[in-house]
Structure 1
Amino acid sequence: MSMDLTFLGTGSAYPSPHRGASALVLRTEGDCWLFDCGEGTQTQLMKSQLKASRITKVFITHLHGDHLFGLPGLLCTVSLNITPSPTQPPSCVDIYGPQGLRHFLRVALSLSGSQLLFPYAVHELEPTADQCPPESQLDAMLESSISESLHPQERPGRTIPLDVEGDCYTLLEDERFVVRAFRLFHRLPSFGYSVQERERPGRLNTQLLQDLGVKPGPVYGRLKNGESVTLENGQVVTPLEVLEEAIPGRKVCILGDCSALVGEGPLRVCRGADILVHEATLGDGHRERAVEHGHSTPSMAAAVARACRARKLVLYHFSQRYKPLSMRTEGEEDDDVLELKRQAEEALEGTSVEVTVADDFLTIPIPIKRPH
């Protein structure tokens, strides 16, 4: 199964002529999962090789505008480009994010008179009080005023509480993936997401099967699916006998804006991540200012990568003061992203963690792992 990660926007605060606002897409076999949707994301999608119509799930890390303002417009644009089928109704788009996201979409779509040609459901994560300063808690008066009337295309979504024992939120479990969220500290409640691919059976030892007199056919498929089979001579063949070592699943972890992790869940859930995407809004020389605004520096991101033993750290969400690689001129070092990369690499010295700085439209392939 192919898997890759494409960055549509890597800037902080607002979209600029050189960087889009936060948005990235995890693509698996054609399906696209969108993480954050800052203003202008639909334009970035049109410039990329990705198709907005392939988006089946959206994950919002927090409710600041540079991660959210593009979502209503994107949903409307996708709807405008759908050709309705009388025989196959459109599938529901699942949207995950912090408490308040459901109300935001209802108001934005309703007040603008927007009708969609597909259903959507918003699944909200219940934050805890230690995820942001007290003055940034969702106002109780706002909560009480939230309408329970669904938008015409809205389907009831889940409200997901923190699993105290695991210190995380389990969002999705199917035959391919387990998706969890975890808590981060920011000026508003922020979350990170972990996409864990399930391990797959190893290759069949076809030579051994042929030696046993088993011909290629349905029996091979049953063994591959973990089912024991009985041969014509009465011999029972188990998957353990004919399957090579299982292929470990890949893990991608994407963190929203943060100046700290909350609880033990983040490191537990992100342990061994193949790719850890972490913000680095300001350089290490501006650490105090970064923390004051709920953000991180390269060395802070590196500390998280080191603690969870990630294979690759990808930095993004850069202040507009840092020039993209495409704008770099010879001799300039202090105000471009290569300096941020150097700071993270210095903090990770002595480890095998690879550091990458994301540019808009960078695509990172995530190869299938080899058995241990």
Structure 2
Amino acid sequence: MRELVLLGTASQVPTRLRNHNGYLLRWDDEVILFDPGEGTQRQMLMAGLAVTPIKRICITHFHGDHSLGLPGILQRISLDKVAHPVTVHYPAAGQEFYDRLRHATSYWDNAEIVPAPIEGASYAHPTSAGRLTALPLRHSLPTYGYRLDEPAGRRMVPSRLAALGISGPAVGVLNRTGRLGDVTLDQVSVERPGQSFAFIMDTGLCDSVYELAAGVDLLVIESTFLTEDAEMAAMVGHLTAAQAGAVAQASGVRKLVLTHFSQRYPDPSRFLDEARQSFAGEIVVAEDLGRVPVPLRREATVG
């Protein structure tokens, strides 16, 4: 299963309908929690999700709406005695905030929590789902966006297998070893594109935004403001819905998820209208407890 569960979609101030941030990506057996804001543990309960499958937590920056839920999540992981290590990625410049949140109150620490601070202009970490990349964004304190890239695989072409008389268990052997006698895997298969995901929160426009978004299947991006408040957005390091749509269009994104909405706008359809002016693909205006499937894999090209 590959899907994004929206646990919270507000910005600095939550509303009756929108919790502080929280996004859980289910990517086969790699489950990643992004930016757990205040109330994330309860939102997971409302969504029917347990903390047990979480393999890693990614914090973009240490503003409260993106990180105040971390203590509760870590304590629940400990309470449930999650057996596998849980890695926490976060900006190294915010180490003091991480340390405070990690042990915000007294509790029995029964889990293996692995800190993975991020620093520098580029960061990459291997996961079971592929490469996790982090790039610095432009905000009022150190902030990183994240991207997950599944490596390309191979898809067998039945007509090529048949022409060479390969069938049954021999196909599996060829796929595992890369060769069967004089026949190589490349002769009977085509490259199967990997899938990709990007997560971009509080930022002004910068090169990293486009680099993170380039060609991804699913882009989650903040659209805190509407164009009428573009000057304020630029001043505080945020994007408008129109800018988010333009980024998606320029970057070749397949599906766009708008989120992190300011409480000053009661009508969420306005975000869709603005983004639609520049992005022709599928757009989701995030709602709390919604689920967004990762688009189906691109078809491999058979020559």
TM over 0.5: yes
Percent of residue pairs bearing the same amino acid type: 31
TM-score, normalised to structure 2's length? 0.91
Whether the 8 Å CA contact 2:91–2:143 is kept in 1: the answer is yes
2:269 partner SS:
helix
Give yes or no for the alignment of 1:278 onto 2:226. no
Whether the 8 Å CA contact 1:298–1:343 is kept in 2: the answer is yes
Cα 1:56–1:338 shift into 2, 3 Å: same
Cα 1:32–1:119 shift into 2, 3 Å: same
Amino acid at match of 1:44: Q
Instruction: Name segments (4+ residues, structure 1) moved above 6 Å.
Output: none
Instruction: Structure 1: give runs of 5+ residues left out of the alignment.
Output: 84-89, 127-160, 163-167, 231-235, 323-334
Aligned pairs for 1:229-268 (under 5 A) are 229-230=180-181, 236-243=182-189, 245-261=190-206, 264-268=207-211
Q: Distance in 1 between matches of 2:86 and 2:55?
A: 5
Higher Rg of the two aligned structures: 1
User: Residue in 2 aligned with 1:233?
Assistant: none
Cα 1:308–1:109 shift into 2, 3 Å: closer
Q: After TM superposition, give the deviation of residue 220 of structure 1 in Å.
A: 2.1
User: Residue in 1 aligned with 2:283?
Assistant: 355
For each residue in 1:99-136, what CA deviation from the matched residue of structure 2 results, as whole angstroms up to 9, or x when unmatched? 2444334334445223321111111122xxxxxxxxxx
Cα 1:200–1:359 shift into 2, 3 Å: same
Amino acid at match of 1:180: T
Q: Which has the higher strand share?
A: 2
User: Residue in 2 aligned with 1:29?
Assistant: 28
Q: Which moved more, 1:248-257 or 1:353-362?
A: 353-362
Whether the 8 Å CA contact 2:200–2:209 is kept in 1: the answer is no
User: Residue in 2 aligned with 1:344?
Assistant: 275
Q: After TM superposition, give the deviation of residue 303 of structure 1 in Å.
A: 2.2
Instruction: Structure 2: give runs of 5+ residues left out of the alignment.
Output: none
Give yes or no for the alignment of 1:221 onto 2:172. yes
Q: Distance in 1 between matches of 2:39 and 2:27?
A: 23
Amino acid at match of 1:38: G
2:61 partner SS:
coil
What's the C-alpha RMSD, in Å, of the aligned pairs?
2.1
TM-score, normalised to structure 1's length? 0.75
Aligned pairs for 1:1-372 (under 5 A) are 2-82=1-81, 90-110=83-103, 112-126=105-119, 161-162=120-121, 168-170=122-124, 172-174=125-127, 176-205=129-158, 209=161, 212-217=164-169, 219-225=170-176, 227-230=178-181, 236-243=182-189, 245-261=190-206, 264-322=207-265, 335-348=266-279, 352-366=280-294, 367-372=296-301
Count matched residues.
Answer: 300
Cα 1:175–1:319 shift into 2, 3 Å: closer
Q: After TM superposition, give the deviation of residue 199 of structure 1 in Å.
A: 1.4
1:17 partner SS:
coil
Cα 1:71–1:237 shift into 2, 3 Å: same
Q: Distance in 2 between matches of 1:356 and 1:174?
A: 27
Whether the 8 Å CA contact 1:204–1:224 is kept in 2: the answer is no
